[in-house]
Structure formats: C-alpha cells, structure tokens
Amino acid sequence: MSACGKCFDPSGARFGVPTYPWRFAPDGYATRRQLRAAGLRPGGQPVAAQVMRRHRGRRAGVQVAYLYRVDRAKPVRPMTSRKWGALALAMLARRTCPKCRITYSYCIPTSLGMCLLCTYPEEQRAA
C-alpha cells in the first residue's frame, strides 16, 4: 500500500469520493464491469468510491476506476421476471387443452389443437 500512499483517501477529503489503492477496495463496492459480471448495473446511483493506481500510459499518471455500492445496484434487466411470467403464461396456455381445460405437463400438439383425450375419445374409452 505504501507504493501509492497518495491514492489512499478513504474519507474522500482529497478527491471528493473515498479513494483506495488499486485492488484494496472495501467489501460491498464493485466497478461497473464487476457489477456487470454479476448481472447488476449501478442503477443510477452516484459513484460511491474509486480505486486509483499509477499508470505510465496516462497523461495524469494515474488510472482510476469508479466503484459503486453493490447493495444499491440493480439487476441488468429489471423486466426479466415479467418476461418470464409472460413466457410461463404462454407455456401454460400451450399446455392447456382448449376443450377440456386440463393443463398437462407437455405441450398440446399444435397439429391437433387439443389434448389426446379430446382428440381420440373413442380410443381412450376402449382402453
């Protein structure tokens, strides 16, 4: 940590936001990329902290990564559950016979348009 002592500013007094040396971010904080990898996004929250390290290639001499609070992050696709709900309803409809209204564990054959019992009532009675 002594390699970049000026990067250590947990109170944010120098940089405006809490600043930590690279790879010394406290628990509960993540970069946008790390959030993305977890299926999350900052969700409109302001930058909560940053990590900083010396970087020869940068004109400023440092590389900065902004950190966001994981507990304030939101799922990347908030519509997902609703989409799944619609999909489940569609699947339920495809598994429900329009004639006898029984829901089966398999999809009603679209070629028949109804369940096997309704399609072949005679054979079922014979059996």
- Contact between 108 and Zn ion by CB under 5 A: the answer reads no
Select from 100, 104, 109, 121 the one that contacts Zn ion (CB under 5 A).
Answer: 100
* 97 sits near Zn ion (criterion: CB under 5 A): yes
Is residue 19 classed as helix, strand or coil in its secondary structure? Answer: strand
Token reading at 21: 């040396």
Is 118 a residue that touches Zn ion (CB under 5 A)?
yes
By beta-carbon proximity to Zn ion, the closer residue of 40 and 97 is: 97
Considering beta carbons, is residue 81 or 124 the nearer one to Zn ion? 124
Q: Is 70 in the site for Zn ion (CB under 5 A)?
A: no
Task: Collapse the DSSP code of 122 into the 3-class scheme (helix H, G, I; strand E, B; otherwise coil) and give the result.
Answer: helix
Q: Which is nearer to Zn ion, 39 or 121 (CB)?
A: 121
d(CA 38, CA 1): 27
Query: Which of 1, 2, 99, 109 lies at the binding interface for Zn ion (CB under 5 A)?
Result: 99
Q: For residue 11, what are its two tokens?
A: 């109170």
Q: Choose one: 15-23, 25-33, 81-89, 90-98; the region binding Zn ion (CB under 5 A).
A: 90-98
Please tell me the distance from the alpha carbon of residue 16 to that of residue 28, in angstroms, as a whole number: 19
Written as one letter, the residue type at 96 is T
Q: How far is Cα 99 from Cα 104, in angstroms, rounded to an integer?
A: 13
| Contact residues for Zn ion, defined by CB under 5 A | 97, 99-100, 114-115, 118
